[in-house]
Chain A
Amino acid sequence: MNSAPALNPFAATELESQKGRRLVLTKWVMFGFCALLVVPLVLILVDIFVKASPLFSWDYIWQNPVNKGKAGGLWAPLVGTFYLVIGSLLFVAPVGILAAIYLNEYAKEGWLNRTISVAVTSLAGVPSIVHALFGLGAFVLGMLPAINRLIVDPNHPEKKWEAGLLTASLTIAVMNLPVIITSAREALGAVPLAFREACWNLGATRWQTIRTIVLPNSLSGILTGIILVVSRAAGETAPILFTGATYFKFIADSGWQKLFPYSIGEPFVAMSMHLHVICTQISKMPDVMKFGSAAALIVLILLINSFAIALRVWLRGRKRW
């Protein structure tokens, strides 16, 4: 009776079972690669947060750094990051969205469209430090002297604009241009052509169609792209190194000045810059402050990104076409 299984015509042959075993093995190897990504990431994050945990309190956010960041909180860098993000969005969001509209709604297939697409991918691949050099050459050394010639009263030369919020925002804006063009174009492309055709058939012009049909229907996708740009702007360090960020910026501890500490022509400090400075430039910096600053930046970025992810999931569920 022992030979009965062998008679089963559906039993796996030696080759087949070997292949099956190998398939299971490869499957585990593939999931092993994924684990290789996920597990260290989780361990690293846990390590950072455990070492930063003594600092967790509202005071850590609300207070200004004391003694070159060796004590105190993160208020000045937080404010700087906030205004940097707002400033760069003001420049990049309109230009990027209009560029996406052009590429998706107006441009015809051809060499120009093709060149623009190549330029967008090339711009996305330009290293961040090259953007920093560009910001230094174009905005700090080119644009600022021109502005100062216009606005500065010769009797009060100390009021001239320095490399600061404006120049850094512009640099970050150029850097994020390809990101917002790509994501907005994707969002516009997701609106079915039939929507546009229906609108054209009612006699609407191209711009009317875009304004009343295409933009409202793709608003959520564009919004997701904007949030991603916010997260990138908040995390970048290299482009603001020489274009306006400074090592320390003292801002008032109370009153309105704590919320609106400086003009756009003044240097500022951002979260990413603060982390860079206390990690590399100050000797005898307590480790807990470094971990605290890193943990705060990670939390900020993850919050912004989870917001984008949640928005996208919610929208996918709501889509009606």
Chain B
Amino acid sequence: MTPTTASKTSRGGRKFNLFDVTEKPTEWLIRLCGWSSIIGLAAIFLFIFREAAPMVPKLDWKTFFTSPRWIPNPAPGNEPSFGAFALIVGTFTTTFIGLIIAVPVGLGAAVCISEFAKGKVKETLKIVIELLAAIPSIVWGFIGLMVIGPIISHVFSAEPGSAWSKVMLTLHLASSESGASQGTNLLTGGIILALMSVPLIVSLSEDALRAVPDSFREAALALGANPWETVRRVLFPAARNGLLAACMLGLGRAIGETMAVLLATGHNNRIPQALTDPVRTMTATIAAEMGETVHGDAHYRVLFILGIVLFTITCSINLASDLIVKGVKKANQA
């Protein structure tokens, strides 16, 4: 081997390579980036708390959690009132309606994709689910506002005194005799949230079902169970925790959803009395009002406190579902 020039060799006579010299710094850079998600999470909490902190001791917490009076900009001379109860109720009712629709549909579709569908049908369904997940939340809000909203207000409208009007009143489908006051309401928001969380529930449940060993299925079939009995008696119990975690992540996503519910729920600060009453959620309140606040005033800081509440709720849901999945792994190893 002909000796190379000194400038091109390093110790040991190997060819000089910038990457080799920088190996140690690179490893430290990689390590730092590895911690980036922890840093990011801590920074999120830190900065939101920093903006909210001056208001934390001053806020009337009892009013905040129990009063539905959210009046951040009162008429001159009156005290502002920060009662977020109606917003919290709005968030949870919309989420509840969304999940009532999304969980059965999502689990059904996941079972269908992982156990019943084959070949081309399966591939097509998976791609459709993926595209469903890709549609941005603002587009879902638009769909709620312009496509589903008009349908809902058409279906839930009636002549006062007619049979459908009485049915709606007795079943709490609408709170007035003439039906839903507007197309964007609790039900529309729930449907939109369902459509948004279904893809997540489907893909995670499908993973959970696929993780069940094939020997379970073979044993069930050998005992004479048909596919449906296999799903119900063997796969559901075996994948129980994974399915639960999928539904919880769907819940977390639905609670944190912003733009879709801003456009599709009607944005009315009231505790809903019927299925088609307009409501307002915590996320939509932050999105709609932050632009109007003055930096540093009470309203601004209370919106950050709402953000902390949301952050706490979604983080606990995520941690809980993570623990559930971890429990599965331990059980499988044992």
Chain A contacts to B: CB under 8 angstroms = 19-20, 22-23, 26-27, 29-34, 36-38, 40-41, 44, 47-48, 94-96, 98-99, 101-103, 106-107, 115-116, 118-134, 136-138, 141-142, 174, 177-178, 181, 205-208, 211, 228, 231, 234-238, 241-242, 272, 275-276, 279-280, 287, 290-291, 294, 297-298, 301-302, 305, 309
Contacts and interface: CB of A to CB of B under 8 A. Distances in A.
A276 B51 CA distance: 26
B244 interface: no
Q: Majority SS of interface residues in chain B?
A: helix
Contacts of B322: 118, 121
B134 A118 contact: no
A52 to B, nearest CB: 11
Given A130-B307, A207-B26, A125 B136 contact: no
Given A129-B287, A237-B138, A116 B37 contact: yes
Given A241-B290, A297-B139, A116 B116 contact: no
Given A231-B134, A294-B139, A305-B134, A98 B116 contact: no
Interface in B278-308: 283, 286-287, 290-291, 295, 303-304, 307
What's the dominant secondary structure at chain A's contact region?
helix
9 contacts: A29-B108, A30-B108, A94-B33, A130-B48, A130-B311, A134-B48, A142-B47, A272-B138, A287-B146
Contact of A120 (B37, B50, B117, B304): B37
Interface string B26-67: 110111011111101101100110110000000000000000
Contact of B138 (A23, A29, A235): A235
Contacts of B143: 44, 48, 294
Contacts of A128: 137, 256-259
A127 B226 contact: no
A99 B33 contact: yes
A122 B19 contact: no
B33 A98 contact: yes
A242 B51 CA distance: 14
Nearest to B105: A33
A232 to B, nearest CB: 8
A256 B58 CA distance: 53
